[in-house]
Structure 1
Amino acid sequence: MWDGYLQLAGNEVINNARAVAYAGNAGLSIGCEPCDSVAEAVGDDPYWTLDETAPWWDAASPASKGFLGVYGIDVSGFNSNTISRTPTPLIGQGAALGPARRGQREVAWTVALITTGEAELSYALEWLSTVLLGSQCSDRTCAGDEMCVFSACPGTTPLRNTGGGQVGDAEIRHLYDVGLLSGPSVTEKQYLRGGQFIWATVSFTLAAGKPWIYHDPLPSNVDWVSLGSGPIVPTVDPDQVYQQCLEPKPCAVDPMCGVPALPPKPPRPLSPCYTTGLGTFRRSRIQVSPLDESAWLESVPVLEVRTGKTEMRRLLVRFWANPQNNPCDSYSDPCNACADINVSYLPAGSTLRMDGRVQRAVVECPQYPIGTATSTPTVYGTKGDLFQWPTFPCPTGLCIEIWSRSDFTAPDATARVLLVPRADLG
Structure 2
Amino acid sequence: MRTIDAEQARLMRARTQGIGGGLRGASVADVMDRAFAVQAQDASAAALGLRARAAGLTAEAVTRAADVERSVVRGWFMRGTLYLVSASDLRWLTRLLGPIFLKLSVRRYRELGLDDGALAHAEHLITSALATEGPLTRAELAERLAGAGLDPRGQVPFHLVRRCALLGQICHGPTRDDGEATFVLLDDWLPADDRPTLEAGSAAVELARRYLAAHAPAALEDFTTWSGLPAAMAHRAWKALADAEETVECEVAGQPCALPTERAAETPEPSLDVRLLPAYDNYLVGYRTRALSVAAPHERRVWPGGGQIRPTVTVDGLACATWSRRNGGRTVLLTPFGDLPDDVLTGIAAEEADIARFLGTGPYGGDREHNHRLTERL
**What band does the TM-score fall into relative to the shorter chain?**
under 0.3
Q: Which has the higher contact order (CA 8 A, sep 6+)?
A: 2
Please tell me whether Structure 1 or Structure 2 has the larger radius of gyration of its CA atoms: 1
- State TM-score, norm by structure 2: 0.24
Greater share of helix residues, 1 or 2?
Answer: 2
